[in-house]
Amino acid sequence: MIARMSRLLLPTLREAPSDADLPSHRLMLRAGLMRRVGDSAGIYALLPLGLRVKAKIEAIIREEMDGVGGQELVLPIVQPAELWQETGRWAVYGEEMWRLKDRHGRLYCLGPTHEEVVTDLMRHEIRSWRQLPLLVYQIQNKYRDERRPRFGLLRAREFIMKDAYSFHTDQQDLERCYRSVYGAYERIFRRCGLDCRAVLADSGAIGGSATHEFMAPADAGEAEIVFCGRCDYAVDVERGEALPRPRPVARRPMAHVATPGARSIADVAAFLGVRPEEIAKILFYQATYGDGRTGESVAALIPGDRELNEVKLQMATGALELRPATAEEVDVPLGYAGPVGLRGVRLFTDPEVAAGAGWVVGANEDGRHLRDAVAGRDFDPGTIIGLSTVRAGDACPGCGAPLAARRGIEVGQVFGLGTKYSTALKATFLDAQGREQPMIMGCYGIGVTRTMAAIIEQHHDVDGIVWPASVAPYHVALVPVGTGDEGRRAVAAAETLATELSGLGIEVLLDDRDERPGVKFKDADLLGIPLRVTLGRALAEGRVEVKRRAAQDAELVPLAEATRVTAAVFGN
RNA sequence: CGGGGUGUGGCCCAGCUUGGUUAGGGCGCCUGGUUCGGGACCAGGAGGACGGCGGUUCAAAUCCGCCCACCCCGACCA
């Protein structure tokens, strides 16, 4: 396959449009992979090169999904409102759902996801346990009228997803399928050249079985994740845990100390000459519960150098809503509050504070603190539960190695749905005993266009994209340079080489444009083609220059061997 | 949705504070010439009426009001 640049719709840009900020967004525009259409946020056209990359990612996905028994189909983008009304999501989804009406006034939406449609399909087709299990998938456009589209393809309003749905007779079979799709995802992202971690995520309102998100570490990521470099522990910070830091056990009795004017952790630490992590701070909240109870005072006791994870506190309390208490709602002096002798407050204590050591805490008297306070000896710690926000350097709860923290782009998710949709849509089958049962479902998504952007986030440098070979739009860029006879020889040699390589199944981008060498080199770098072969002045000695995009240096090889050297890079 | 910012040829941007010839530069584009290994140079040329509407004024890209779009932060969301 040979593409001639002189004829390609490949509009590279020397400067990026000013509204593009992220590397992936800028580079996709500069390298001529895509363009925004009209004045619409989050609506893009993929140009020929962008489409090629998309197709490569999709091919990898298809191979791996087929490999775990997935069957490809295509579900409609336009979906009738009735189905969504049956599951209740027509009302729940809100503004984000792109709704439309046909000429008769019937309501539809542009599918943001396809659980309803696929479940509707299966309830008509599946009667018997003998027809299960089933794993189907599609690669299809999705529509979400985002409040705030941004970051180019990372959060567009129209995007491409591979979504898969599985149907099972029982939970064990769902779990088996879940694990095999999980494995396929690991292979898919690895093959795409993406550094990716599966993190245990919150199953949210849907609840039930586990869910993993596949996160690609990148600064542009929308979520913060912590993960272990040694074992496979990886979680969203919201759910992250860490081993408590070891602290010596206090032997001295608790004692009052005067700390006039010292209210903040930093003040108290400086005043007493202790480190912030020797001080325990207490934070007050007001909780509202599902049964209508409101205004309960709760407090969290954590080390002074740590951040409270409010989500954890909320889960620990079981509250529906939690808000920081105002000064009036707390009847101890602010800045001098502590757990000793505290009344009328439900206290939650972080394990690190509960673990033996003596802590500096507020004395609940103006201008005074206590030192060497020990949980269980000097105060009732209440409920002991992890409340701190995990951070880089904390000890992994799995193996004790230091944790790393990074932002991550969610490129995929696997989810054990259970019977939420099958029950709502009455998608049932008859089991071996002749009883009617709702199908047990799983769903599995990969953001295809988002994966493309994530790959660029991880693979670029100052000169442009550095595509992994598996997803590069072309394998090799042939760059003939030179003028006059030299130039003609270069072009002729490039044509011959292109034909040879193409015959071996290597995808060739031939820069046959009448441009100066500098322009060609800059464009080749920008496009990120894995290998560049320059045919220029060295041709006089029968040699060409071979350079990997990811490498600094080029190598001169005899023209006669250029095909072999190039083919070797791609394993042909 | 809250806060901030921006809107001037295809792209990047100046001009606006302090209204006043024909709205300007760079890149790109067209023509000719010279060049030719890291985004060349010279000469000539095409292309915008300044996001939209309304107002103030003798006069508005520039001042005022409303609206729209896009971008950023946050909230929200899988």
Task: Give me the CATH topology for the region A476-569.
Answer: Rossmann fold (3.40.50)
Distance A33 CA to B23 C1' (A): 34
CATH topology of domain A255-384: YbaK protein (3.90.960)
Name the phi and psi angles at A88, rounded to 5.
Answer: 85, 0
Nearest Cα to Cα of residue A451 among A436, A471, A435: A471
Give the per-residue pLDDT at A329: 80
pLDDT score of A419 more than 90: yes
Residues contacting residue A496 through CB under 8 Å, at least 6 positions apart: none
Q: How confident is the model over A446-463, as a mean pLDDT? A: 96
3-class state of residue A372 by DSSP:
strand
Residue A206, pLDDT score: 44
Q: Determine the average pLDDT of the residues in A248-277.
A: 87
Measured between alpha carbons, how far is A544 from A392 in angstroms, rounded to an integer?
Answer: 48
Closest CA to A476 of A523, A533, A396, A555: A533
A316 has a pLDDT exceeding 60: yes
Q: What is the pLDDT of residues A22-55, one digit of tens each?
A: 999 999 999 999 999 988 999 999 999 999 999 9
Contact criterion met (CB below 8 Å) for A572 and A501: no
**CB of A358 nearer than 7 A to strand B:** no
pLDDT mean over A270-290: 88
Q: Which CATH architecture has domain A2-240+406-456?
A: 2-Layer Sandwich (3.30)
Q: Which residues contact A159 (CB under 8 A, 6 or more apart)?
A: A141, A142, A144, A153, A447, A448, A449, A450
What is the C-alpha to C-alpha distance for residues A275 and A122, in angstroms, rounded to an integer? 62
What's the CA–C1' distance between A13 and B20, in Å? 38
pLDDT digits (tens, 9 = 90+) for A514-531: 999 999 999 999 999 999
% pLDDT > 90, chain A: 70
Could you tell me the distance in Å between the CA of residue A183 and the C1' of nucleotide B74? 36
| Res A209: pLDDT | 60
Mean pLDDT for chain A overall: 92
Nucleotide minimizing C1' to CA distance for residue A151: B71
Name the residue with higher pLDDT: A331 or A260: A260
Lowest mean pLDDT segment, chosen from A71-85, A295-309, A532-546: A295-309
Answer yes or no: is A7 CB < 7 A from strand B: no
- Two tokens, residue A456: 């660029």
Residues with Cβ within 8 Å of A315's Cβ and at least 6 positions away in sequence, in order, are none
Nucleotide minimizing C1' to CA distance for residue A516:
B36
CA–CA dist A343, A333 (Å, integer): 14
Query: Quick check: A550 CB within 7 A of strand B?
Result: no
Q: What is the dihedral of CA A49, A50, A54, A55, to 10 degrees?
A: -30
Give the model confidence (pLDDT) of A161-170 as tens digits: 999 999 999 9
Q: Is the pLDDT of residue A159 over 90?
A: yes
Task: Find where tokens 């500069």 sit.
Answer: A30
- Between CA A357 and CA A184 the distance in angstroms is 47
Asked whether residue A191 carries a pLDDT value surpassing 90, the answer given is: yes
Neighbour tally for A252: CB within 10 Å: 9
Better pLDDT: A214 or A207: A214
Side-chain half-sphere of A337: how many Cα atoms within 13 Å? 21
Distance CA A520, CA A530 (A): 15
- Per DSSP, what are the bridge partners of residue A446? A162, A412
**pLDDT greater than 90 at residue A355:** no
For residue A167, the model assigns a pLDDT of 98
**Does residue A281 approach strand B to less than 7 Å at its CB?**
no
Residue A428's H or E segment, with its range, is strand A428-430
C-alpha–C-alpha distance, residues A353 and A299, integer Å = 14
Query: Which pairing describes strands A428-430 and A403-418: parallel, antiparallel, or unpaired?
Result: unpaired
Quote the CA–CA distance of A124 and A126 in Å, as a whole number: 6
Rounded distance between C-alpha atoms, residue A13 and residue A522, angstroms: 11
Comparing C-alpha atoms, which of A53, A3, A63, A6 is closest to residue A33? Answer: A53
Q: Could you tell me the pLDDT band of residue A200, with boundaries at 50, 70 and 90?
A: confident
The count of other CB atoms within 10 Å of the CB of residue A433 is 7
Rounded Cα distance, A456 and A322, in Å: 39
Q: Does nucleic acid strand B have an atom less than 7 angstroms from the CB of A559?
A: no
Judge contact between A461 and A181, C-beta under 8 A: no
Can you give the residue ranges of every domain in chain A? 2-240+406-456, 255-384, 476-569
A199 vs A370: CA distance, rounded Å: 41
Average pLDDT over residues A278-296: 84
Q: What is the mean pLDDT of residues A70-86?
A: 96
- What pLDDT, on the 0 to 100 scale, is given for residue A202? 63
Q: Which chain B positions come under 7 Å from a protein C-beta? A: 1-2, 11-13, 26-28, 35-40, 69-78
- Of the CA atoms within 13 Å of residue A45, those in its CB half-sphere come to 10
Helix (H) or strand (E) holding A536: none
pLDDT score recorded for residue A312: 84
**Measured distance CA(A117)–CA(A101) in Å, rounded:** 18
Q: Is residue A223's beta carbon less than 7 angstroms from any atom in nucleic acid strand B?
A: yes
Confidence band of A557 (pLDDT split at 50, 70, 90): very high
Encoding tokens for residue A29? 């525009």
Instruction: Say which residue, A298 or A69, is predicted with more confidence.
Output: A69
Instruction: Give yes or no for residue A347 having a pLDDT over 90.
Output: yes
Sequence-distant (6+) residues with CB within 8 A of A388 are A242, A302, A303, A306, A307, A308, A309, A350, A352
Q: Among the ranges A91-105, A219-233, A256-270, A431-445, which has the highest mean pLDDT value? A: A431-445
User: Who has greater pLDDT, A453 or A355?
Assistant: A453
> Residue A50 has which token pair?
């962008």
User: Residues A75, A117: contact at Cβ < 8 Å?
Assistant: yes
Between CA A114 and CA A503 the distance in angstroms is 42
Q: C-alpha angle with apex A197: A193 to A202, nearest 5 degrees?
A: 140
Can you give the pLDDT at residue A445? Answer: 96
In which band, very low, low, confident or very high, does the pLDDT at A190 lie, cut at 50, 70 and 90? very high
Report the distance from CA of residue A145 to the C1' of nucleotide B16 in Å, as an integer. 36
What is the pLDDT, as a whole number, of residue A205?
A: 42
Q: Is residue A223 within 8 Å of A407, Cβ to Cβ?
A: yes
Would you say residue A399 has pLDDT above 60? yes
Residues 375-434 on chain A lying near strand B, CB distance under 7 A: 410, 413
Q: What is the mean pLDDT of residues A398-423?
A: 93
